Homo-oligomer: A and B are copies of this chain.
């Protein structure tokens, strides 16, 4: 809690990661508290490529709470933002019940940026709310279980409160206090695991995930069955697979669960579609590649959008990247296409190309990002990284 007592001014800047669910969250049993109908499990992605950065300032001179997202001031009265502000303040009050902590009666200025395009469909709200709650907690000196707070901003945000492999237990209580995220294993447990995010060229998403999952809960009997009868067993299997670094099991469960999630979207009335023809080609490509290899080397997962998240192991990354580039060749230069993946001199055998047997689709994939699993939110200690000026307004270049 860096504090300038003279000014009554606290400022902290934190960053938080994106996470990719391998057992999917889809459907709430409580819309306001954001309580899910099933548990879920995710991989936290490393922040060196994908992160939200948030500066929270707290000062007696601020007249009201304000928030700027990606350079634009947004409406702070949004109920989910208000939930997070209220809950962190409540925790601070409880913690400092012996007296008024610095800043508790003060207003916040919040400034947040993503270093990746929202259009990439990479659950920016998860990183965003995780970062908001983490930063607010730091500025008010709150510690302890914060995932219940982040959950009330955006369900999947609770999983971005930890690094590595994270489960969000659905919980049973009506007040949601047992609906929390916990780390299953740190990212260091499985250093060979690699992620490729294949960003698919696509039209605008037609149905947002919040309204999509609401309609699914109301209309899909397959979703109810999935949540009650399928996911509990998968959670146990997935936790075991992660702890044992059993890639084949991890990969198959990941693919099956992604497919089942999209199946329940299709069973929704009216149906909700997130996969497109390019997504389907990627799915077919992965299955043919694995079949050719005689083992499950690569897995896909799709969230509420057409982009594919590929999981593989370090030893197969270069080859599969080459496979992607062969069947979804970039339009022009390879460097634009490739974000953060070392180019290697892998060439594909004719046998492999034939086994996959697909016509290359130019521009089907816009670009590829290649993060590893990574740690949870952290405070950025370097003061020049603050997004707000000392006067509490966003810096010019933010």
Chain A interface residues toward B at CB < 8 A: 206, 221-222, 225-226, 229-230, 252, 255-256, 259-260, 262-264, 266-271, 273, 276-277, 280, 283-284, 287
> What residues of B have a CB within 8 angstroms of the CB of A222 in the complex?
222, 225-226, 230, 260, 263-264, 267
Whole-angstrom distance between the alpha carbons of A271 and B262 in the complex? Answer: 11
Whole-angstrom distance between the alpha carbons of A284 and B266 in the complex? Answer: 12
Q: Smallest distance from the beta carbon of A278 to chain B beta carbons, Å?
A: 9
Whole-angstrom distance between the alpha carbons of A260 and B262 in the complex? Answer: 11
> What residues of B have a CB within 8 angstroms of the CB of A270 in the complex?
255, 283, 287
> What residues of B have a CB within 8 angstroms of the CB of A221 in the complex?
225, 229-230
Q: Smallest distance from the beta carbon of A209 to chain B beta carbons, Å?
A: 18
> What residues of B have a CB within 8 angstroms of the CB of A260 in the complex?
222, 266-267
Whole-angstrom distance between the alpha carbons of A9 and B69 in the complex? Answer: 86
Q: A221-B229, A225-B225, A259-B266 are in contact. List 12 more A-B contacts (CB 8 A).
A: A222-B225, A222-B226, A222-B264, A255-B270, A256-B267, A259-B267, A259-B268, A259-B269, A259-B271, A260-B266, A273-B280, A277-B277
Write 15 A-B pairs (CB below 8 A) sorted by A numbering. A206-B284, A222-B222, A222-B226, A222-B263, A222-B264, A255-B269, A256-B267, A256-B269, A260-B266, A260-B267, A262-B266, A263-B267, A266-B266, A270-B287, A273-B280
Q: Smallest distance from the beta carbon of A90 to chain B beta carbons, Å?
A: 41
Whole-angstrom distance between the alpha carbons of A225 and B264 in the complex? Answer: 13
Q: Smallest distance from the beta carbon of A233 to chain B beta carbons, Å?
A: 10
> What residues of B have a CB within 8 angstroms of the CB of A263 in the complex?
222, 263-264, 266-267
Whole-angstrom distance between the alpha carbons of A208 and B186 in the complex? Answer: 44
Among A260, A266, A268, A269, the one with the most B-chain Cβ atoms within 10 Å of its Cβ is A266
Q: Smallest distance from the beta carbon of A152 to chain B beta carbons, Å?
A: 31
Q: Smallest distance from the beta carbon of A221 to chain B beta carbons, Å?
A: 6
Whole-angstrom distance between the alpha carbons of A264 and B256 in the complex? Answer: 12
> What residues of B have a CB within 8 angstroms of the CB of A230 in the complex?
221-222
Whole-angstrom distance between the alpha carbons of A267 and B225 in the complex? Answer: 13
Whole-angstrom distance between the alpha carbons of A226 and B221 in the complex? Answer: 8
Q: Smallest distance from the beta carbon of A37 to chain B beta carbons, Å?
A: 15
Among A230, A252, A273, the one with the most B-chain Cβ atoms within 10 Å of its Cβ is A273
Residue of B nearest to A288 (CB): B270
Q: Smallest distance from the beta carbon of A299 to chain B beta carbons, Å?
A: 12
Whole-angstrom distance between the alpha carbons of A264 and B277 in the complex? Answer: 18
> What residues of B have a CB within 8 angstroms of the CB of A255 in the complex?
269-270
Whole-angstrom distance between the alpha carbons of A313 and B101 in the complex? Answer: 70
Residue of B nearest to A291 (CB): B270
Whole-angstrom distance between the alpha carbons of A270 and B264 in the complex? Answer: 16
> What residues of B have a CB within 8 angstroms of the CB of A277 in the complex?
276-277
Q: Smallest distance from the beta carbon of A225 to chain B beta carbons, Å?
A: 4
Whole-angstrom distance between the alpha carbons of A283 and B271 in the complex? Answer: 8
